[in-house]
Amino acid sequence: MRTAFFTLLAATALAQTPRPGVNYDESKVGNDPLPDLKLTTAEEWTQTRRPEIVKLFEDHVFGKTPANLGAPKFEVTATKPDALGGIATRKFIHISLPAYPAWPGMDVMLYTPNHIKRAPCFVGLSFGGNHAVSQETDIPLNTRWMRESKEKNIVDHKATEATRGTESSRWALEMILKRGFAVATAYYGDIEPDHADGWKDGLRAAVSKDGANTVWKDGEWGAIGAWAWGLSRIADYLQTDAQVDGKHLAVIGHSRLGKTSLWAGAQDERFGFVISNNSGEGGAALMRRDFGETTAIITKAFPHWFTPKYASYAGNAAACPIDMHMFIALAAPRPIYIASAAEDHWADPKGEFLSGKFAGPVYALFGKKGVMVDEQPAIDTPVGDFVGYHVRTGKHDVTDYDWKQYLTFAARHWGR
Ligand code: GTR
């Protein structure tokens, strides 16, 4: 979901009319050393170092998620036992916060396979809403704010009938369900609309004591924090659903929602498998590498995603006490998968690989192997034991190829 501006910007840069400030030359990525992971023992990592690093990410990148917003309320609003031609049960669950009624809540769509009693579940937010994820035509159209797009049939910031199924190529529902996994998803804009003032109509204003007049300070949460919070509330619900194995949840996200799934996985260890699909800058890509999108570009285009402090590292990533190998390491010792796309230069595929590689020593503390290779593997050659990685042919997207790797990885780690 690049904005037209950024697609143009990336395309222009790749068409060899380099735009000042965007580098695609590997010899110019810089060589600032990464912050030290300061490793001692697995125990010390778990007790002390890991919480320190979570706090660094709160203070400098995403802001702190408010600890307790009260128990969420779950209402199952519809159940269809013969969804997708009978292979699945489909449920809608409305999640709200009784303590903060100003937040309109989120509508989760859950598909569980009918041939499995308690299925492990992939949990991820969508860009277009439940009706865009699935091709089933009886799904209520999402009514919240969406980014205007002629091409995507979003009119007056609202979804239209023509938006049904438009994101379905990114959610290999049949393949996932037939392999015995469930899928839970919701529209990210249910939690907070994705624009600079979106928070005023979303969760963050609803729970802040100054409401829509809040002035966000360093260390306070941004939109990615709010979206990640939403993923954890879906995990809360999934613990209560008899058709889901709540002990085997994978969190997945693409692009900005890949940054979000990494942050959700870092904060909520109930996500036993963390997936970053083309998450790029502010996600898996090392911030000290000046390649494609940079801290300066992202914090200018999308300041609302982060805590304000993050923008102070624009043009000065080396001053930031974290880099993204530490972000990946926060998943340890749980399995994590980082996926890149060969044409997705904007997201810096090599930088995404390197963060996985340099998280390896943390996995080693737990006696586990990471990516198991020194160099970024060839295109379409998945690698890794506890840190999976591939760079697939093609563009910034989620494809069946990506899902096949995630399903194989999950099945291997979860003995399915
Ligand atoms: C781009 C942004 C990327 C990525 C992408 C997306 O405009 O620069 O960091 O998040 O959007 O979410 O599709």
Domain contains 80: no
Share of the chain above pLDDT 90, in %: 94
Domain contains 318: yes
For the segment 92-110, the average pLDDT, to the nearest whole number, is 98
| The predicted structure's pLDDT at residue 4 | 41
15-19, 91-95, 227-231, 236-240: segment of lowest average pLDDT: 15-19
| Ligand 1 center to 278 CA (angstroms) | 9
Q: What is the pLDDT of residues 370-408, one digit of tens each?
A: 999 999 999 999 999 999 999 999 999 999 999 999 999
| The predicted structure's pLDDT at residue 416 | 86
Number of domains the chain contains: 1
For residue 1, name the pLDDT band (cuts at 50, 70, 90). very low
| Ligand 1 center to 3 CA (angstroms) | 8
Task: Give the rounded distance of the alpha carbon of 229 from its chain centre.
Answer: 11
Domain contains 310: yes
Give the catalytic positions in this structure: 255, 396
Residue to substitute in 3, 147, 255 for testing ligand 1 pocket (most ligand atoms within 8 angstroms of CB):
255
Handedness of CA 210, 214, 218, 223 (dihedral sign): positive
For residue 20, name the pLDDT band (cuts at 50, 70, 90). low
| The predicted structure's pLDDT at residue 13 | 38
List all residues whose CB is within 6 A of at least one atom of ligand 1.
Answer: 1-3, 6, 255-256, 280-281, 293, 298
> What is the overall mean pLDDT for the chain?
95
Task: Specify the length of the chain in residues.
Answer: 416
Domain contains 410: no
SS3 content of the chain, % helix, strand, coil (to 5): 40, 20, 45
For the segment 162-171, the average pLDDT, to the nearest whole number, is 97
Residue to substitute in 9, 19, 256, 398 for testing ligand 1 pocket (most ligand atoms within 8 angstroms of CB):
256
| Ligand 1 center to 312 CA (angstroms) | 20
For strands 88-96 and 106-113, give the pairing: antiparallel
Whether the predicted pLDDT of 173 surpasses 70: yes
Domain contains 189: no
For the segment 305-309, the average pLDDT, to the nearest whole number, is 98
Nearest protein CA to atom 7 of ligand 1, as residue: 2
| Ligand 1 center to 143 CA (angstroms) | 23
Domain contains 15: yes
For strands 182-187 and 244-254, give the pairing: unpaired
Please check whether residue 129 is in contact with residue 108, taking contact to mean a CB–CB distance below 8 angstroms: no
| Ligand 1 center to 193 CA (angstroms) | 15
Nearest to 140, CA basis, from 122, 123, 164: 164
Q: What is the pLDDT of residues 32-88, one digit of tens each?
A: 999 999 999 999 999 999 999 999 999 999 999 999 899 999 999 999 999 999 999
Atom of ligand 1 nearest to the CA of 282: 9
Domain contains 212: no
Nearest protein CA to atom 2 of ligand 1, as residue: 2
Atom of ligand 1 nearest to the CA of 1: 13
- The whole domain housing 306 covers 1-62+279-396
Domain contains 71: no
* Residues sharing a CB contact under 8 Å with residue 41, sequence separation 6 or more, in sequence order: 365
**pTM summary value:** 0.95
Q: What is the pLDDT of residues 225-258, one digit of tens each?
A: 999 999 999 999 999 999 999 999 999 999 999 9
Nearest protein CA to atom 12 of ligand 1, as residue: 256
